[in-house]
Chain A
Amino acid sequence: MTIRYQYKGEGAGGFERYGSAHDSDFFVSLFFSMLRIRRIEEEIERRYHQDQMKTPIHLVIGQEATSVGACAALRTSDLLYSSHRTHGNYLAKGGDLKAMLAEMHCRITGCVGSRGGSMHLIDKKVGMAGTSAIVGGAVPIAVGAALATRLKGEDRVTMVFLGDATTEEGVTSESLNFAALKKAPVVFFCENNFYSVQSPLSTRQPPRDLHRWAATYQMPSVAVDGVNVLAVYDATVAAIERARVGDGPTFIEAPVYRLRAHGGAGDDSHTGYRHLAEREHWEAFDPLALYEHFLKRKQLLDDQVIGEMETRLTQEIADAFEFALSSPNPSEEDLFRHVYAE
């Protein structure tokens, strides 16, 4: 079987039901956010071989709709936790691009002062609260964050991005159980991209739907088309509202496809763990292209507007790389900072 994991959504037709739900500015802003992430990722990928970014990278090309759609449902004050594949989550939550690229260039101006690299893109000012490079590591932390906000009486919701493999970690089961028990104001957002590094879901789990598995923890659990930014937004809004009013956690499964390798630049389908035809199949459901098609049909977007966006992004991204590359390196004294808090 050349295509192990089929796209099962409604494609371009899936956008229609959301066609009148929002004003035009909102529709276009989602597109811009997705386009921005795509162009940033492409530029990172283009420059990666220069070895100036001495950090692992985990590109989100093909997964922009989940980051953008889900984060659009969050307030700045809401908390977001994430995993190693964090570029899109960070940018969609409002994380600073210059600080992100400086971090990836190991500069002192990086968002975490060159201590984290690309897997620990954190910007607390905008609620990008923490990440873990250990699969499942951020999941109980998000539940704890949610518990804290409730104990303090804060009007905040916590969301955590996790991948399909995260559902295999015991700690994820523990976290879902506890979140449901305590009705913690948390949303578990699972980007199911079917592969953990190069291991397909089929070698890791019996055939099942991840959202049905999560539902056994006695919480609402839904599947949503992960290439449809409007569907993602809609499902996340519902989950956030549940959490905000005290009805507890929700699990969202969004099937998506990683159009690049697990780590590094470029795709690695040629190495044989997945078939090129599978990637090409999913490329036909590129979240950015699908959404562009929908917006153009609704006459909310045209090539001129897109061209203006591209010009703006080219400049912003060039400036951010320039900032990163011209930023100072950390000093030896910086190594000794922040091992312990005062």
Chain B
Amino acid sequence: MPWDEGLVNSLVYDAPDPAEGRVVSYVKAINEALTISLDSDPSVFVMGQGVDDPSAMFGSTRGLQAQFGPERVFDTPLSEEGMMGVCTGAAMNGMRPVFMHNRPDFVLLAFNQLVTHAAKFHFMDNGQTNVPMVVWAAIGRGWGSGAQHSQAIQGLLLGVPGLKIVMPSTPYDAKGLLLSAILDNNPVCVFEHRWLMKKDGIVPEGFYRVPIGKGIYRKRGDDVTIVGASHAIELGMRAAADLEAEGISAEVIDLRTIKPMDEHIILESLEKTGRIVAVDTAWMKGGVCAEIGCLAAEKGFHFLKAPVARVGLPDIPTPAGYTLEQFYYPDAARIAAAARSLVR
């Protein structure tokens, strides 16, 4: 999907310090996780529309078919539901499929198999069958992605028992969470963000895992908690830096996994700051922002010094045009404004 390549190339991220370790791009980190998994476990296979084509799923699958063969790394028909069922059946019988989609919008075609089959079998057959599979997709944004190529669907899946959902924000996490997801014995959705693909970071060589279900403090602060995952953390960190200059000390929590959600870290921070801004790449309603807000009200009510604030997408489909996009997507300034309104 080369049309947004220029846009993603133009994004500027803080450069990691090579003195801290090996610098690797986000895409390369994913590629390493897939390579390690394919190499170390014969039950792993990778499939998806175009995983073997020259674009190689943004580069994340580059070289895998040449290295591991077309039986284990293969293109698929445009049959999202059928292929999700194939993954489910393979996972139920000892394999660990990784099913890659270049956008979550295409996963919507496969909800019957993902939600009603993959996520249910272990429960329905009384634990006889595990369904260890990974459903990977990269959320789009900008360059006219519009209503049908930019949907961040994590909120739709938060209420599905049996599923796990991870949303990395750094190359380190992209590799470590993907390795964990592949080794997990449950269906795990890995939602990446297109805008993170060219981000560089410190990534160790070889195998390591980032635990599923645990959040991490990206920045410590005392006045307000900014919590979310994926690209929202990029924005949250910039907002926190701006707030710092104004004398507002923001704490930033990267959930890493949104299902199961690390309630402990959210409440721990909220107890300290008393103020919380929930941020997400998706719609605020019924999603990650709503769930965090509910958690704060339900279990952190006595900590709250101000109302919960949410910064995500409005209840509007994504517009395709450039100018409308600017009104639509939240940025660091909007997160900072929300935090400021709670503190003042």
Contact = CB atoms under 8 A, between A and B. Distances in A.
A141 B95 CA distance: 13
Interface string B112-123: 110011000111
Interface string A327-342: 0000000000111111
Contacts of B112: 134, 137, 171
A129 B131 CA distance: 13
Contacts of B88: 140-141, 144
Contacts of A113: 126-127
Contact of A137 (B92, B95, B117): B117
Nearest to A142: B89
A221 B85 CA distance: 22
Interface string A161-180: 00000000011011101100
A124 B128 contact: yes
B94 A178 contact: no
Given A142-B89, A177-B77, A130 B83 contact: no
A79 interface: yes
Contact of B93 (A148, A170, A178, A340): A148
Nearest to B164: A340
A341 B86 CA distance: 20
A115 B129 contact: no
Contact of B77 (A111, A174, A342): A174
Given A144-B91, A148-B89, A148-B93, A178 B82 contact: yes
Contacts of B161: 339
A342 B164 CA distance: 13
Nearest to B161: A339
A143 interface: yes
Interface residues of B, number: 44
Contacts, number: 152
Contacts of A134: 112, 116-117
Contacts of A339: 122-123, 161-162
Residue of B126, B127, B128, B129 contacting most chain A CB atoms (<10 Å): B126
A229 B93 CA distance: 30
B92 A141 contact: yes
Contacts of B94: 148, 152
Nearest to B133: A144
A197 interface: no
Contacts of B131: 341
Contacts of A142: 89
A147 interface: yes
B92 A129 contact: yes
B95 to A, nearest CB: 5
A341 B185 contact: yes
B339 interface: no
A98 interface: no
B129 to A, nearest CB: 7
Given A120-B125, A148-B94, A178-B79, 9 more contacts: A79-B93, A122-B128, A141-B88, A141-B113, A145-B89, A148-B92, A148-B93, A341-B185, A342-B185
Interface of B: 43, 45, 71-72, 76-77, 79, 81-95, 97, 112-113, 116-117, 121-132, 161-162, 164, 185-186
17 contacts: A124-B129, A130-B89, A140-B81, A140-B84, A143-B89, A145-B89, A145-B92, A148-B90, A148-B93, A148-B95, A171-B79, A173-B82, A337-B126, A338-B122, A339-B162, A340-B164, A341-B185
